[in-house]
Amino acid sequence: MYSTPYHTTDLSQSSFLITGGAGFIGSNIVEYLLKYGAGKVRVLDNFSTGSYVNIEEFKNNPAFELLEGDIRDLETCRRALEGIDYVSHQAALGSVPRSINDPINSNDVNVSGFLNMLVAARDATVKSFIYAASSSTYGDHPGLPKMEDKIGSPLSPYAVTKFVNELYAKVFSKTYDFHTIGLRYFNVFGPKQNPKGPYAAVIPLFIEAALDNKAPYINGDGETSRDFTFVENAVQANVRAMLTTSVNKHEVVNIAFGERTTLNQLWNRIADIAGISLSPEYREERKGDVRHSLADINKANALIGYKPAYSVLEGLSIAYNWYKENTVKVSL
């Protein structure tokens, strides 16, 4: 992975803060930046959902720094931003079901924590602040493909928190002249995504089932569709967004591949990669889930030059092989 650079500038004189950098997407961003010689890559993480395993390979790199702390503490956020040029804010409590079961904690981290980071980054006068937004913001809007200026009502507490992030970022842009970019992720998957726990995402669960030669569970009839997005595409978006110089207001862009895949199709593709033939077991649909999702990625292309490098099938092959080779890591 990351054999192709998504930047043209020298990173050795720049410093980066990745919040949630021990998590799935965050640790992949860290990997890219260190591979291409970033001067400093600082991770802020409280390890509530992130893992030391995800960043263990970086600990001896002199450009890598780890600050264990919580974004819900403003002074921690200020300390994390000392000497930082670029911010990729990935720290959050993900998962629609988690937010339904515990909306207060999701709000504390995703809204209060986000606001702390926004205030601290504004005061630190960083060069750019990029944050993880979400396709859940589209809510019950029926239109496909999803376009950034057309959203519906949120369907879960998690969706509310991510929409509030965008509202705060927009207000900060107008009020303080502090401009940010929100990346509306569409179902990101790939290496370092944890298949364990009650809120694991569907692709690592499917791959784990395939590796164990067991039938997976599918919520609903399997015809629910998603715009699954390989993690290197998300990393590309973060790198391009952090380094762009063309943004002079708050922006949100879709980060996806631009193709719909049903859960049934997804399982069949993974089963083909694994060389197995098993029918899934179906159960009730989850509360708060949207039925179909598909992104229009034209704005991301125009604004930051985003062009997904990996298809869903290519990403699934890479992810499957990673899980197969790292069964010990993902079981920790």
- Side-chain half-sphere of 143: how many Cα atoms within 13 Å? 12
> 11-15, 200-204, 227-231, 324-328: which has the minimum mean pLDDT?
324-328
* pLDDT band per the 50, 70, 90 thresholds, residue 246: confident
CATH of domain 15-326: 3.40.50.720
Confidence of residue 331 (pLDDT cuts 50, 70, 90): very low
Which residue of the set 86, 158, 185, 306 is catalytic?
A: 158
Residue 313 has pLDDT above 80, yes or no: yes
| Rounded Cα–Cα distance for residues 280 and 302 (Å) | 40
Q: What is the pLDDT of residue 332?
A: 43
Q: Which is nearest to 309 in space by CA: 252, 244, 256?
A: 256
What percentage of the chain exceeds 70 in pLDDT? 98
The residues with which 262 forms a beta bridge, in sequence order, are: 225
As a whole number of angstroms, the distance between CA 309 and CA 230 comes to 9
pLDDT digits (tens, 9 = 90+) for 59-79: 999 999 999 999 999 999 999
Average pLDDT, integer, range 151-161? 95
Cis before residue 195, ω within 30 degrees of 0?
no
* Residue 310 designated active-site: no
CA angle 118, 257, 183 (to 5 degrees): 5
Share the mean pLDDT of the chain. Answer: 95
Phi-psi region of 197 (alpha: psi -120 to 50; beta: other; left: phi over 0): left
d(CA 314, CA 204): 15
In the DSSP assignment, the letter for residue 112 is I
Residue whose pair of structure tokens reads 């590309």 in the numeric block: 236
pLDDT digits (tens, 9 = 90+) for 162-220: 999 999 999 999 999 999 999 999 999 999 998 887 778 999 999 999 999 999 999 99
**Residue 308 contacts residue 258 (beta carbons within 8 Å):** yes
pLDDT at residue 11, as a whole number:
98
Q: What's the pTM?
A: 0.95
Q: Helix 231-243 and helix 24-35: axis angle, to 10°?
A: 60
Q: Region 89-113: what's the mean pLDDT?
A: 95
- For residues 118 and 173, what is the distance between their CA atoms, to the nearest angstrom? 11
Each domain of the chain, given as residue ranges in start order, spans: 15-326
List Cα–Cα distances, 323 to 53, 212, 234, 297, in angstroms: 14, 11, 19, 29
Predicted pLDDT at 129: 98
Residue 101 identity (one-letter amino acid)? N
Give the three-state DSSP class for 44: strand
87-116 mean pLDDT = 96
Confidence of residue 329 (pLDDT cuts 50, 70, 90): low
The arithmetic mean of pLDDT across residues 46-50, rounded, is 95
As a whole number of angstroms, the distance between CA 141 and CA 152 comes to 4
d(CA 193, CA 54): 9
- CB atoms under 10 Å from CB of 309, counted, come to 18
CA-based nearest residue to 19, from 105, 163, 148, 118: 118
